Amino acid sequence: MSGSAYETTNKYLQDGFDTLGLDPKTEHMLKTPAREVRVELVIRMDDDSVGNFIGYRVQHDNARGPFKGGLRYASSVNRNEVQSLASLMTWKTALIGVPYGGAKGGIQVDPQELSTGETERLTRCFVETTHEFIGPTTDIPAPDMNTDGQVMAWLFDEYSNFHGFEPAVVTGKPVDVHGSVGREAATGRGCMFALREVLNHEGKSIEGTEIAIQGFGNVGSWAARLLHEKGAKITAVSDITGGYHDPTGLDIPSVWEHVAAEGTLERFDDAPSITNEELMTLDCDVLMPAAIGGVLTEENADDVQADYVLEAANGPTTYAANQILENRGITCIPDIFANAGGVTVSYFEWAQNIQHFSWTESEINEQLEERFVDAHAALRDTMTEYDVSMRTAAFVNAIDQVCHATEMRGLQ
Ligand code: GLU
């Protein structure tokens, strides 16, 4: 049994607690979400029928600042998954050093089955039912799986209907609607910086590195593009419709063009097709899961041929799979480090909104890079100090920050 997403996150967290030797009551507090909101969302569908959906917002910890994290739309959304993702945000924001806590939201819905109008009504209904729990200094949503700048613009607009003009209530907005340059590419760019730092530390470089990417949404597609520009060989990509593999390296600009025209990778004729399962066990240097959680399991971990797993997705590796990979000497670059670029530039967007002042794209990218360089150096120190994996070091560094803030602020 691989266990639930929340169980997996808590097991990784426990490895961090054990390294630091925390007391059980503190551990319990740090595992448990501070608040969980579950809402029923009832909207009018285009055919005049009633649409009934369930939404969640889990606020995990706010010792270091307002709750922060994405909002996802997917049929797989459930309370347990959102609890896990909210907790990961607490550790991610602490590790990368942005002044936030952690939260996550989700609506259980297949977004492919909604029209644009229905998606807008559902988003506005979510704000109507949760606006008292979110806010620029309380809890700041952002894009996640199947949500984008358009959804964030509706969120901002609807929240402003209740509370007046408040662009800082949500990040990942379109640039023309108080968003930030560089935010769309930020998670992919962060993955590139994380990989570069890890490889450089080991005397290697991105150039010529063979990378297989599962998922070609916002994160996977931007990572593919930026890594390709840095000379990596992207040998495989996939999305929900299937994958494509070319051992000599795919032409990523033409993959982008295909997706821009067709909406998905389907019928990309320039390379032989493979399944998503086959992609996971391809012979390559870096395997990059950039889609859903729980894709590396006990069933396929033994067959992974990559030297590194770059976790662009949240929670892609089960605890048992992680142990197998570790025993086989495969380095997992953990999600809370690898994909922290999104929330980092979310912080820059929020800071710009609050100051009513905008930064240039090179300022954004330079500051993002600096955070990754610093976080990576701190990870290496902790790995040496405690003789632990990069994942456990990431949790140790993050737990340290959160515990310190909790202690300084004090309990009641
Ligand atoms: N959904 C993204 C994540 O999982 C971004 C969150 C944010 O920007 O608040 O990190």
Q: What is the domain-level CATH number for residue 90?
A: 3.40.50.10860
Residue 1 has pLDDT above 70, yes or no: no
Q: Alpha-carbon distance 61 to 406, whole Å?
A: 10
Number of separate domains in the chain: 2
Q: Alpha-carbon distance 353 to 372, whole Å?
A: 23
104 Cα–ligand 1 center, Å: 8
| Secondary structure letter of residue 317 according to DSSP | B
Q: How confident is the model at residue 2 (pLDDT cuts 50, 70, 90)?
A: low
Predicted pLDDT of residue 3: 78
Percent of all residues in the chain with a pLDDT value above 90, rounded to a whole number = 99
Q: Alpha-carbon distance 341 to 310, whole Å?
A: 13
Q: Alpha-carbon distance 349 to 181, whole Å?
A: 8
144 Cα–ligand 1 center, Å: 6
- What single letter denotes the amino acid at residue 164? G
Tell me the pLDDT tens digit for each residue of 208-230. Answer: 999 999 999 999 999 999 999 99
Domain ranges, residue 405: 180-412
Same domain, 166 and 38: yes
Ligand 1 neighbours by CB, cut-off 6 Å: 68-70, 92, 142, 144, 171, 314, 339, 342-343, 346
Same domain, 316 and 234: yes
Same domain, 111 and 203: no
Q: Kindly state the average pLDDT of the residues 270-296.
A: 97
Cα-based angle 28, 30, 33 (whole degrees, multiple of 5): 95
Predicted pLDDT of residue 338: 98
Length reported for the chain: 412
Q: Which of 104, 173, 230, 233 is catalytic?
A: 104
Same domain, 382 and 293: yes
Tell me the pLDDT tens digit for each residue of 97-124. Answer: 999 999 999 999 999 999 999 999 999 9
Of 57, 140, 80, 133, the C-alpha closest to 345 is 140
| Burial of 187 (C-beta count, 10 Å sphere; 0-12/13-18/19+) | buried
Residue 206 has pLDDT above 50, yes or no: yes
Same domain, 184 and 172: no
With b for 16 or more beta-carbon neighbours within 10 A and e for fewer, the 244-260 pattern comes to bbeeebbebeebbebbe
Q: Of the residues 176, 196, 220, which one is the last residue of a structural domain?
A: 176
Q: How confident is the model at residue 411 (pLDDT cuts 50, 70, 90)?
A: confident
Name the average pLDDT for the chain: 97
Q: Which atom of ligand 1 is nearest to the CA of 85?
A: 4
Query: Do the domain assignments include residue 2?
Result: no
β-pair type (139-140, 50-61)? unpaired
Same domain, 254 and 291: yes
